[in-house]
Structures are given as structure tokens and as C-alpha cells.
Structure 1
Amino acid sequence: MNQPTETADSTSTPRAEPLLSVSELTKHFPIRRGLLQRQVGAVQAVDSLTFDVAKGETLSLVGESGCGKTTTGRMLTRLIEPTGGTILFEGRDITHLSTGKMRPLRKDVQMIFQDPYGSLNPRHTVGTIVGAPYRLQNVKTEHGTKRAVQDLLELVGLNPEHYNRYPHEFSGGQRQRIGIARSLALRPKLIVADEPVSALDVSIQAQVINLLEDLQNEFGLTYVVIAHDLSVVRHMSDRVAVMYLGKIVELADRDELYARPMHPYTTALLSAVPIPDTNRRAKRERIRLEGDVPSPINPPPACRFHTRCWKAQEICSTQEPPLAALAPGHQVACHFPENVTPAAASAAAASAAPATSAPTATTTTTTTTS
């Protein structure tokens, strides 16, 4: 189980009351074959995730493609049904609520989709798209739906006169702003943003990120941001959860994670972030991971990263490391973490105590200097 545990010398960082609490969240997609469509396996997209999101906080989920980020976001918004675990929103269990019971909660939980081209109906005008939440939830506004939609368009940096235009008349950045306006219509408390800027030009990305931050400050929004661009994540996150093959391998405050990554996978991801300064780039060690990401249909036993990790030893393939707090507010799932204090290193070694024999190196270093 990938459940967080506390070490003896760690202390919890005081945080606000959680708006969203996730415990052992799991999603396995069945694989069916044959005439009778019998299940012959399952894609283990997400496996035993546990985390909290405080009110007004931005938590980012990062990792390689296929690690389960989008699946997690869709479970949080109940667009897909979890296989196991619990999702608590403001203390209420929403894990298996029916469509009818979820409808009132749609006012509080919204999603910004990754594709600004595919998420807008090309047959509807902007006014119809952004005004849909008001009609679906039967919400009456003081000056009518049209005025409310025009106010939203102005809020996200569009012209109120765009009300009668169609999506194909807008650029990618403008379409994403339309999607953001739609998600804000009912003044939600939680917004799950799935790669909100990945499909946009770099110059437009900064505008949308700044817009999201301004809206958060103005309305007290809570964000769960799904992203793979670590530069974007660093700019807009309060905390970062690093996922690998359906599991969280590291969870920490943004500054702590970027300054002192402890999991080898996080270290490898950060080493790939582009650095404009040529002098700094020349001094940085570039870590290149060998091999492909294993299949989620049959993930490696114990630590799922051990097949690509340059620090892997025998215990990594036989015993799964728990997601343990090795520093205040910094949780890591690794038998041999990096950048840790001697006390934390001793605690990590203690977690490996059940091994019957001393671990021996099985994987060589794959680091090269760029």
C-alpha cells in the first residue's frame, strides 16, 4: 500500500483545512476478450493514491505520459468511477455518488480540459457554451444569463462582443479562455486543470497561467493542476506530487522539491528542465533514464521505478517502499533517497530492515554530463 507514514523525527507542517481528501484512490481498467468478453487482465492506471488539498492551495500532479495524472483528475471530478479508495469533498464522501446526487456538486467542482479545440462544441456559439452551466443547474442571475456570460468573457480577457461568435473564429489561447470562463460560471470551489497550457504557444502560456493565478486570488479557488512541464509547475504550484506508473513517489512543497529532490525519478525529471544560462547548463548533470516505462498492465513488483533506476538494489524489487515523511512536509517512496539528512537516511534504512540479506547493486549508473 502506498500510504504515507511518519518517521520519528518528522513534524507536520501546519496547513489549512483540506477541501479535498483522497485515500487509497485506485482505478483499474478491465481488459476483456473473447465472445463472452471475459476479463483477462486490467490496466492499473492509478494505484493507491493518498493526498489532501487545502482550501486555496494549488497542488500539481506531474510525471511522464501514461503515469495516471489525467485519470486521477477525472476521478476527482467523478467523470469516471474509481475502482477503490475514497474521495472526500468538504468532508463528504463523493466516491460513488450517482449522477443525480453529483449534479448539485457540479457547482463546486469543475474541470478545465486539456484540448481547447476538442472541448468546445463547434456548433454552439460562445454564449451558448459559457452559459450552459447556468441552464443545466437552473441558476438565475441578477441581470440574465447573457449579461452574466458577457461579464465572464470580460473577466478572462475576452471581448463581451464575442458572445455570438463560434469557436473556430478564435485562436488556441482564446479558446482556452472560453473554457476557463465556462468553468468559472458557477463560482466553483475546486477546479481540476488538465494540462491547461500544454496546447498553447509559449507566449500565450504565460498569459493563461497569470490569468489562473489572478482568478485564484480573486475568488479563493483551489486548483489541482495536471502538467508535465516542470517550469510551468514551479511557477503556479504550492505543492507538487510526482507520479510514476500510477503511484505517487514524492510529495513536497514546491520550493523544497525543486531545491532538494529526494526520489531518483524526480531528480531525473528536474535534470531535463531546460536552463537558458549556458554556464549553468554546462555544469548541471543530465540524468538519462534507460529503457521504456513498463506496461501498467503488468507493472514491476515492489518499487515500480526499480527497472530504470540507477540506484536500484535487490530490496527494490522485493519490497515496496512506503510513502514516508523524510522531512517536514516532504514524503518520499524510496529505499535509497537522495539529499536526505543522516537521521532521515537512517529512517529510510530502517524501513529496509526486513530484508534478509544485504542489498547488492544490480543497475549501473546511467548519468551523463550534458
Structure 2
Amino acid sequence: MTEQSTTSAVDLGKPRGEVLLSARGLQKHFPIKAGFLRRTVGAVQAVDGLDFDVYKGETLSLVGESGCGKSTTGRLLTRLLEPTGGTVELEGRDISHLSQNELRPMRRDMQMVFQDPFGSLNPRHTVGTIVGAPWRIQGVNPEGGVKKAVQDLLALVGLNPEHYNRYPHEFSGGQRQRIGIARTLALRPKLIVADEPVSALDVSIQAQVVNLLEDLQEELDLTYVMIAHDLSVVRHVSDRVAVMYLGKIVELGERDAVYERPMHPYTVALMSAVPIPDPARRDKRERILLTGDVPSPINPPSGCRFRTRCWKAQEVCATTEPPLAELAPGHRAACHFPENVPAA
């Protein structure tokens, strides 16, 4: 059985409910061009073969170091980027290579919250114009008119409806992110990809926005793919966690299983860095410091991509890429020498 068929069978084998989004063999390679004729001389392998499902009503978080491919994956899922290879299916329909005209009606079902709450808002437009844009683009006339619908959305995300005619620069960072969330909710999407939604905000505001996202999920029956590097935030909001390293998913499982019993050495190192408020527990934990830098995605290592920084690496790690295999119920890891594997 091939690696891809193994991971697909594992992902589909655990009964979790209805699959909303499915990625199989998902790839995105950015060509590198050089010379007078701009010939392609290589490629940045930003995302290189992802297999996972997103179930209705859950929050799946993608975590990993900067440059691991998290944000590129989010843009592939919402078709802001077209995949180099593999497929993305939304409710069973392949959207991987649809044209923009074909995608337009499907934009109602999938939206994105961006990291920079100011850069994603047009400074020349009022809040009313920004939040009402999805209805105009889709040719939808909401009940009661656009102005009333926008004001209802502003109230829903905790903003003053009377600020309809204000401009983005008149709001704080947290308020701008709420405006972006309101715009995302206009068409009542089924899937929201949130790309580092709180990382640009003050710590005092982050919890408010995270709690808002959780409340909206429960009230509107939303499904989230959360992209983040703050492992404390991820633990608070996630149902499942996928750990990425250099364009690959190296571990995928239920939140508590990944945090308490990490199997991949990279995940073990990540979890050892999560702050613990209890001094007694903190002193007992061993902190794992990874040596070296993340290899270049232009020329990734053979076999296991983490082997150049892994303290458990052996010869097989350089010659054979480990499959993302199920090592415990609902818990998968791509490692030849995993940790915390339950006894058979």
C-alpha cells in the first residue's frame, strides 16, 4: 500500500462526523526563475503533500515554525492560491483548479480572516462599505437592506453599530480585527480559515478576540482552520492539532493527545517550550533545544525532513521518508522512532 493510500485510509477511518473539507496530496511549489530568459531553475517547496480532513463544527489548528507552510496551506484551502498538485474538496466537490467565475458562488461557504487587521482593510472605505462588500460582490440583497445587515454584524462582533460611517484608522487593532471578522461572516460561511488572527494584537486584546471566535462558532455553527504559532492559544481553541515542519504534516491528532503525549520528536520539542504557570511542574520538565536552522525548502533533506535537527535520527531517517501513520486511535505521526507510543 502506498504512503498516500495509507494516510487517506487512516484519516477517513475514524468516525468523527461529516467531512466538510478534504485535502489529498496537496502541494504548492513556487518556481524560482533566473537569467535573462527567466528560466525556471528550481522551486520553493512550500507545501509538499498534505493529507487531512476537516470535520463540520470542529477547529483544526495548524502549528509550526515560521516558514513551515501554514499560511500557504490556508490560502490553498480557500483557493487564494492554486495548488501545484493534489486536490482540495469542499463538501465533496473538487475546487482545486476551478476558475474564478466558477469559484465565486463557492466563496459564500469559505472565507478567511487575515493576520494584519489593518492591511486587510481598505483605508479609503468606510466600515459600512468594507463589511457590506461581500453582498455587493455576490449580488445578494440582505433582508432589511445592506446598512441594517452591516449594523447587525457590527453588533454581533461587539462593535457599535453607529460606527457604520467611520474609517479603519479610527479603530484600535482589536476593533479592526472585529471588522474583518464581521466582513467574513456577511455571507454566513461554513468554513473560516483564520491565519494568525490574534498574533498582531496586544496580549490584553488577544483573549477577547479568541473568545469572540469561539462564541461565533457555537452560535453560527462554524468550522475553523486556525493557523497559529502561539501554542497556548491553540490549546484553548482546538479540537485537533496538525503540526507542520518544512511543508509536511509530521503529527496530527486530538488536542489533548498531541499536547500531553506528543509522538514526533519535533512536536516533543515544541511542547517543551510551552509556558507552564506552575513553578513546581515547570522545574521538573526538560526543555529541549533544537540545534541548527530549518533547512531550505528549495532543497529539503532526503528521507525525514526533520532528521538534520533530530536527536533520534539514524541511517534509515536519511534514506526512507516515514509515512504519516496512525500509531494510536486518531493520532498519527510521521517518524521512524516515535515517542509515547502505547504498548501493543
Q: TM-score range by the shorter chain?
A: over 0.9
1:12 offset after TM fit, Å?
A: 4.5
**Alignment partner of 1:272: what SS?**
coil
| Alignment partner, residue 237 of structure 2 | 236
Query: Does 1:261 find its partner at 2:262?
Result: yes
Q: 1: CA distance between counterparts of 2:13 and 2:3?
A: 19
Q: 1: CA distance between counterparts of 2:341 and 2:258?
A: 12
| Alignment partner, residue 158 of structure 2 | 157
| Alignment partner, residue 183 of structure 1 | 184
| Alignment partner, residue 4 of structure 2 | 3
Unaligned runs of 5+ in 1: 344-370
1:185 offset after TM fit, Å?
A: 0.3
| Alignment partner, residue 368 of structure 1 | none
| Alignment partner, residue 311 of structure 1 | 312
Count the aligned residue pairs.
342
1:4 offset after TM fit, Å?
A: 6.5
1:11 offset after TM fit, Å?
A: 11
Q: How does 1:243-282 map to 2 (within 5 A)?
A: 243-282=244-283
Q: 2: CA distance between counterparts of 1:232 and 1:120?
A: 24
Unaligned runs of 5+ in 2: none
Q: 2: CA distance between counterparts of 1:203 and 1:267?
A: 29
| Alignment partner, residue 359 of structure 1 | none
Q: 1: CA distance between counterparts of 2:302 and 2:188?
A: 44
1:65-94 Cα distance to aligned partner (Å, 9 max, x none): 000000000011101110000011000000
1:341 offset after TM fit, Å?
A: 2.1
Q: Which amino acid aligns with 2:224?
A: Y
**Is the 8 Å Cα contact of residues 58 and 239 (structure 2) preserved in structure 1?**
yes
**Is the 8 Å Cα contact of residues 11 and 52 (structure 2) preserved in structure 1?**
no
1:2 offset after TM fit, Å?
A: 5.8
Q: 2: CA distance between counterparts of 1:147 and 1:299?
A: 52
Aligned-pair identity (%): 77
**TM-score normalized by structure 1?**
0.90
| Alignment partner, residue 59 of structure 1 | 60
Q: Which amino acid aligns with 2:324?
A: L
Residues 10 and 25 of structure 1: CA distance in aligned 2, closer, same or farther (over 3 Å):
closer
**Is the 8 Å Cα contact of residues 11 and 327 (structure 1) preserved in structure 2?**
no
Q: 1: CA distance between counterparts of 2:169 and 2:217?
A: 28
Residues 28 and 10 of structure 1: CA distance in aligned 2, closer, same or farther (over 3 Å):
closer
Q: Which amino acid aligns with 1:174?
A: Q
Residues 4 and 245 of structure 1: CA distance in aligned 2, closer, same or farther (over 3 Å):
farther
Q: Which runs of structure 1 show a deviation greater than 4 angstroms over 4 or more consecutive aligned residues?
A: 9-12
1:117 offset after TM fit, Å?
A: 1.4
**Alignment partner of 1:341: what SS?**
coil
Query: Does 1:133 find its partner at 2:116?
Result: no
Taking only aligned residues, the RMSD between alpha carbons, in angstroms, comes to 1.6
Q: 1: CA distance between counterparts of 2:310 and 2:3?
A: 19
| Alignment partner, residue 30 of structure 1 | 31
Q: How does 1:53-132 map to 2 (within 5 A)?
A: 53-132=54-133
**Is the 8 Å Cα contact of residues 32 and 42 (structure 2) preserved in structure 1?**
yes
Q: 2: CA distance between counterparts of 1:288 and 1:125?
A: 47
Q: 2: CA distance between counterparts of 1:203 and 1:278?
A: 23
**Is the 8 Å Cα contact of residues 2 and 49 (structure 1) preserved in structure 2?**
no
Q: 2: CA distance between counterparts of 1:285 and 1:99?
A: 50
1:222 offset after TM fit, Å?
A: 0.6
| Alignment partner, residue 283 of structure 1 | 284
**Is the 8 Å Cα contact of residues 21 and 53 (structure 1) preserved in structure 2?**
yes
| Alignment partner, residue 325 of structure 1 | 326
Q: 1: CA distance between counterparts of 2:153 and 2:163?
A: 11
**TM-score normalized by structure 2?**
0.97
1:17 offset after TM fit, Å?
A: 1.2
Residues 10 and 147 of structure 1: CA distance in aligned 2, closer, same or farther (over 3 Å):
closer
| Alignment partner, residue 48 of structure 2 | 47
Q: 1: CA distance between counterparts of 2:170 and 2:311?
A: 50
Q: Which amino acid aligns with 1:53?
A: V
Bigger radius of gyration = 1
Q: 2: CA distance between counterparts of 1:78 and 1:13?
A: 27
1:296-338 Cα distance to aligned partner (Å, 9 max, x none): 0000001000000001111101100000000000010000000
**Alignment partner of 2:174: what SS?**
helix
1:39-59 Cα distance to aligned partner (Å, 9 max, x none): 000000000000000111110
| Alignment partner, residue 146 of structure 1 | 147
1:162 offset after TM fit, Å?
A: 1.0
1:196 offset after TM fit, Å?
A: 0.5
Residues 121 and 2 of structure 1: CA distance in aligned 2, closer, same or farther (over 3 Å):
farther
